[in-house]
């Protein structure tokens, strides 16, 4: 019998929402697409408008000038990843990074969903994908 190592599943995949995140929406669901808006109190900050309610910060606006988030920059580990792979703009680069880390499967859980976004079940269903 040949030993086959178990699959490595990563559930902390460092995905950050961008406008591209919602490109999978069907035409009938477009009305639920979260929009990026400028914070009226600080024009340097962007937030998500979800169903007419202003929600969490758009994470790309709180990053360090080198493209690595402030928390990652303080770590003694190499936890920073290029914005293109975190925002799923560069799928090939993301797959290469997974290979380098010996990750077989990534479960993508967006940081935006750490908060309650909407009480509208149709909007929630439209924004949730598997």
Position 101 in a domain: yes
Mean pLDDT in consecutive groups of 10 residues from the start of the chain, 130 residues: 83 72 88 90 88 78 48 50 76 87 80 75 77
Q: The domain containing residue 56 runs over which residues?
A: 9-127
Position 4 in a domain: no
In 27-112, beta strands by DSSP E: 35-39, 42-50, 53-57, 105-106
pLDDT for position 20: 79
Position 40 in a domain: yes
Position 1 in a domain: no
pTM: 0.61
pLDDT for 52-87, tens place per residue? 888 877 766 444 444 455 545 444 445 567 777 777
Position 44 in a domain: yes
Position 3 in a domain: no
Position 74 in a domain: yes
Position 17 in a domain: yes
Q: How many structural domains is the chain composed of?
A: 1
């Amino acid at each position: 019998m040949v030993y086959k190592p178990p699959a490595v599943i990563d559930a902390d995949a460092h995905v950050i929402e961008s406008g591209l995140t919602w490109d999978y929406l069907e035409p009938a669901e477009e009305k639920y697409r979260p929009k990026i808006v400028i914070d009226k109190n600080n024009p340097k900050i962007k937030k998500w408008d979800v169903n007419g309610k202003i929600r969490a910060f758009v994470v790309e606006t709180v990053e360090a000038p080198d493209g690595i988030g402030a928390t990652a920059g303080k770590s003694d580990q190499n936890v920073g990843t290029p914005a293109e792979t975190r925002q799923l703009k560069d799928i090939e680069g993301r797959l290469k990074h997974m290979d380098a880390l010996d990750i077989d499967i990534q479960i993508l859980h967006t940081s935006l969903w750490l908060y309650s976004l909407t009480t509208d079940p149709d909007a929630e269903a439209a924004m949730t994908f598997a």
